[in-house]
Amino acid sequence: MAVAGTPSPGDEAAEEVLAQLDQGEAPIVGIIGDTGTGKTTAAERLVEKYKRKSPGSVFIADDKELRPRFAGQERRDVADLRAHPLDPDLGRVVVFRGDPTRGELTDPERMAELAWKRVARGRKTLLVVDELIAGRGDLSKNAQWRKGIEFLPKSFTAGRAVGVATIWGAQSPQLVPIDPFEQSNAIMCFRIAGMGLAKLKERDYLAGGVDVVIPRLHGPPQPRETRGDFVLLLRGQPWNGKIYKFTR
């Protein structure tokens, strides 16, 4: 069943979830939904707005596909960035690619570690970690961080005050550790159902009847032009009744 009505502008939601930048704080934002529903577009728009609101650098883990989904200066990993520093004339977005042709993923933990080293020099950073957990048994198991994973959890629990912002994404929120849910100031939620929806309810994000709306949002196999609608979820607060969608 389709969701009736004209969506509100997605940029309106983006301004709300990044509003903490205007208060000198680093936001933490989740983007949840099935594959093909519009999560990457949402992350792109948040990155664009972050760059306008903050002088910070942007570190993006973008190893999901053979071609990059985000624009920026590409590096294999943190070691490659150290060996080949950014060209300031080409911007401040680093797209860490790993080696997708060989199935070698980049390491979000090392990205976060670098962000925290920058804190000591007064430098702000936005971490963008799409699919925070999917296929990453090296990061977590049974919704618990692996032993030795330190800087990613720290980014959620302590990054807000020191300028380490995080945008995290997930197709399967039931696999995500509790920290992102407890510390996020908002979650952009695209179509999702089943265990993922149940986990959002368990984490107190589905007040106000939004649990009925979310499974009715658009996604495959519906036409691409219909996809991209989402709702904004705030922990412990009722849904504002709005459905959003980004347009160009």
Domain coordinates in residue numbering, the chain: 8-245
pLDDT score, position 134: 60
Sorting pLDDT into bands at 50, 70 and 90, what band is 98? very high
How big is the chain by its Cα radius of gyration, in Å? 17
Sign of the alpha-carbon torsion through 151, 154, 159, 165: positive
pLDDT score, position 73: 98
Confidence (pTM): 0.94
Contacts for 22-26: CB closer than 8 Å, 24+ residues apart: 22/53, 25/160, 25/161, 26/124, 26/126, 26/159, 26/160, 26/161, 26/162, 26/163, 26/164, 26/165, 26/166
What is the C-alpha to C-alpha distance for residues 190 and 151, in angstroms, rounded to an integer? 28
pLDDT over 70 (residue 46): yes
Mean pLDDT, the chain, whole residue set: 93
Q: Is the link from the previous residue into 173 a cis peptide, with omega within 30 of 0?
A: no
pLDDT score, position 2: 43
pLDDT score, position 140: 87
What is the C-alpha to C-alpha distance for residues 201 and 195, in angstroms, rounded to an integer? 10
Fold of 8-245: Rossmann fold (3.40.50)
- In contact, 60 and 70? CB cutoff 8 Å: yes
Share above pLDDT 90 across residues of the chain, in percent, rounded to a whole number: 84
